[in-house]
A and B are shown apart, each in its own frame.
Chain A
Amino acid sequence: MIDVDFEQLPFSLLEEDRRERLKAAMEMAFFEAGQVLLEARRPADYVYVVHKGAVLELDPTLPADAGRLGVYTAGDVFGALSVLNGRSRYRFVTEEETLCYLIPAALFKTLCDEQPAFADYFRQRLASKNRLLAERREGGVTMAGFMLAKVHQCMREPLVLPSGGTVQQAVAALNERQADSLLVERDGHVGVITKTDLLRGLVDEGLTPASPALSLATFRLVKVPPDEYLFAALVSMTRHEVERVVVMEGRKPVGVVELTDVLSFFSSRSYVVGLEVERADNLQALSLASARLPELVRALMAQGVKMRFAMDLLAALNGRIISKAFQFVVPEAHQEHGCLLVLGSEGRGEQILKTDQDNALILDDAAHWPERDEHMRRFTETLLTLGYPRCPGNIMVSNPEWVGSLSDWREKVSRWAGQGDDAAMMNLAILIDAHPVAGRAELVEALRETLFQRCSGDQILLSRFARPSLKFATPLNWFGALKKPDQGIDIKKGGLFPVVHGVRAMSLEHRVRDTGTLARLNRLVDAGQMDAGFAEELGEAMALFAELRLRQQLARLEGEGGQDPAGLPGNQLLVDRLSALERDLLRESLQVVNEFKKRLSRRFHLEY
């Protein structure tokens, strides 16, 4: 009787008859606490599956504390790499009395030879393991259409109007090809003419069918390369408020992707949310569209879309909703004199579900706006009705502290920087993540420049700024295993925050203008401040935390009205509910966080 879940990875990768062979050869054995199962640099005779108990992975060349690499508990597999590589890299010792299943090395190797996917599973590093997990979820292998679709799979042949083509020729071509737009070229630049442009020309501008169509073309195009993900094209359309993008290979147009094509490609109602946001011309319509975002998130998750793309899309949509609300509430005359910023997680583009509104307003020094406070109060109320709860820290435009002219803001920055206490550091941290959503974006850049000038060279300030990243303990115990207190582990404090804040501190030091953590990591790698492998691991770890947290939040949303199954706040993650593989990934990711904390502590001199 083999009590192993063969439906879980990695055994689910084996075909039925191989599973039977594996089952027939498995043995069981007890090991007392402190027994060495695999010695470092010695060949391994068995692959072990823990049934009960715990096994430590140690690096005997390191001092006891640093040498603890991992802990394996019920359901975990170890020794596989040792068997595949011929010998064990580290020492495996039982931490407590442990019951293991044993798979003879010879059989394991045969299985790996016969089924390369099985062998690959064990060779994966953290990053690739994460990917596998995402792909397998909810039958994600066949998610086909969505994430794996590239632009060239969905684009139309470009319909090019010969130079000097007339309106009549253009209409004929459009009709013949059942298209909505065609391309024109002028002085090596590519432009686009839509059906709407032709109508405008004929009706408003008094062109005749024989007039040349070139004058109707728009030359400001949104372009994407053909091997870009279709998803990213959708993000650009949402961001630029256009209904088509031109696919360019070098300087040559090779196709057009229409919004309707993308939508029918995805064919699920959820993706229409973006369109509904764009079409909303009053608050009520906007709030209807906004209420459907969780549904979209759920659909994306079910399709196994990568977190960073989901974040991008949701950030673009949230940005559009807030910007639209701003346009509805603030009179047009004032919109041009200010810049609305979203801060914190929204500013970093990492907020997936609406948590709370963090925003601020910069005005140019010429603004004259007496009824400003009233407008801002109304704006905050409006966001509230759109489903963005109030910020508990009152970091909102309805609070006059977070509204001001550029010179006010500069003064605030230097005051905060001089103050140097925790609250001031938090305000600076919030401000660094600022991202413009409406109005004059250059105001934010000016403010960011001020921030960098004041802070980037100030080592004492940077050290104070970075300190909070060590504030919360990583929820790993002394042995490097997950802590499992009954109330769950706080994934935000223990995992997300140290990564986000640490990267933020390094970005402040190195004047990185991007606000997203993943983008910042890329910049830091480019600047030679972090090695690419580690940055990737940090990014993957963050994506995992965000995903686990999001799933918890979604489950809570579903439980609303009924009751939350566990009655836990959204950031508390119950380790028991994760599968063995997810636990494994979480553990590894938290170890990456620990490593990052160590580096931060050296870099910013936090160790006293």
Chain B
Amino acid sequence: MLKRLVQKRRHRSGPYGHLFQTPDGQELMALDCETTGLDPRRAELVSVAAVPIREGRVRAGAALELHLAPPASLSGESIRIHRLRGVDLAQGLDVHQALEQLLAFIGNRPLVGWCLDFDLAVINRYLRPALGFDLPNPVVELSDLYRKRERYRSPDALPDLRFERVAGKLGVPVIGRHTARGDATTAALMYLKLNPSVVDQ
């Protein structure tokens, strides 16, 4: 919290100042990354996607999807999970270009995602040395929203927090699992279901 205030103070008048302004709440961004591993300190970015949510609609067609140049740590294991081989990424962007594009796309909008901590940790690991700050955007954590809803509905049961199960429970179709864009779209749809005030608009 304190760190965020310090960074905001430092960068408010810099080239990325707009990122630190308070969002107007009109639009949100569902975010998802595919990485080479599950350890946020070492996993490298493979692809990242952001899907805008506005007025209760998921603007699935307007999504941004970025593939990065193959990182050194791209291993057989991660290829098996998200099916991106080195050759698929050969055309990819380098990390800094990608982050520039991502920042420009998401702006100061609140971010929505499933277990977003991990994604943010990976992105911030790149961002900090390059630009000197963490993503300042407010964060809507879907697993928290879901847990809250389940606690209200059935206080004694422990909710099953696997992504596919939650999507199934919410009646959201899982679209293109283990692609950044598919997971981000699914997350965006989950947000619509978990946030009734948006549906009412």
Contact = CB atoms under 8 A, between A and B. Distances in A.
A25 B61 contact: yes
A423 interface: no
A24 B59 CA distance: 9
Interface in A83-105: 97, 99, 101-102
A2 interface: yes
A99 to B, nearest CB: 7
A1 B182 CA distance: 5
B61 A2 contact: yes
B199 A27 contact: no
B56 interface: yes
Interface stretch (A28-36, A161-169, A269-277): A28-36
B151 interface: no
A32 B185 CA distance: 19
Nearest to B62: A24
Given A28-B185, A30-B199, A52-B173, A2 B60 contact: yes
A46 to B, nearest CB: 10
Contact of A99 (B62, B63, B176, B189): B189
A535 B173 CA distance: 43
B175 A3 contact: yes
B199 A28 contact: no
Nearest to B59: A27
A461 to B, nearest CB: 56
Nearest to A102: B57
Given A3-B176, A99-B173, A99-B189, A32 B58 contact: no
Given A1-B175, A1-B179, A52-B173, A26 B60 contact: yes
A467 interface: no
A26 B63 CA distance: 10
B193 interface: yes
A32 B59 contact: no
A25 B61 CA distance: 5
A193 to B, nearest CB: 71
A30 B179 contact: no
Interface residues of B, number: 22
Interface string B36-72: 0000000000000000000011111111000000000
A501 interface: no
A82 to B, nearest CB: 19
Contact of B63 (A1, A32, A102): A1
Given A28-B60, A29-B58, A3 B189 contact: no
B174 to A, nearest CB: 10
A45 to B, nearest CB: 11
A101 B185 CA distance: 12
A23 interface: yes
Given A3-B173, A97-B171, A23 B192 contact: no
B199 A32 contact: yes
A320 interface: no
Contact of B57 (A22, A23, A28, A97): A28
A26 B192 contact: no
B176 A1 contact: yes
A435 interface: no
A30 B61 CA distance: 16
Interface in A1-39: 1-3, 22-30, 32
A447 B53 CA distance: 74
Contacts of A25: 61-62
B109 interface: no
Contact of A26 (B61, B181, B193, B199): B61
A102 B181 CA distance: 18
Contacts of B173: 3, 51-52, 99
A27 B56 CA distance: 10
Contacts of A26: 60-61
A272 to B, nearest CB: 51
B186 to A, nearest CB: 8
A255 B84 CA distance: 66
A32 B59 CA distance: 19
Contacts of A2: 60-61
Nearest to A28: B58
Nearest to A29: B57
A361 B175 CA distance: 64
A23 B61 CA distance: 5
B62 to A, nearest CB: 7
Contacts of A99: 171-173, 189
A106 to B, nearest CB: 14
Interface of B: 56-63, 171-173, 175-176, 179, 181-182, 185, 188-189, 192-193, 199
Listed from nearest, the 3 A-B pairs whose CB atoms lie closest are A26-B61, A28-B58, A29-B57
26 contacts: A1-B63, A1-B175, A1-B179, A1-B181, A3-B175, A23-B61, A24-B62, A25-B61, A27-B57, A27-B58, A27-B62, A28-B57, A28-B60, A28-B185, A28-B188, A29-B57, A29-B192, A30-B192, A30-B199, A51-B173, A52-B171, A97-B171, A99-B171, A99-B172, A99-B173, A99-B189
Given A29-B56, A101-B60, 8 more contacts: A1-B185, A2-B60, A25-B61, A27-B58, A27-B59, A28-B189, A29-B57, A97-B171
Interface of A: 1-3, 22-30, 32, 51-52, 97, 99, 101-102
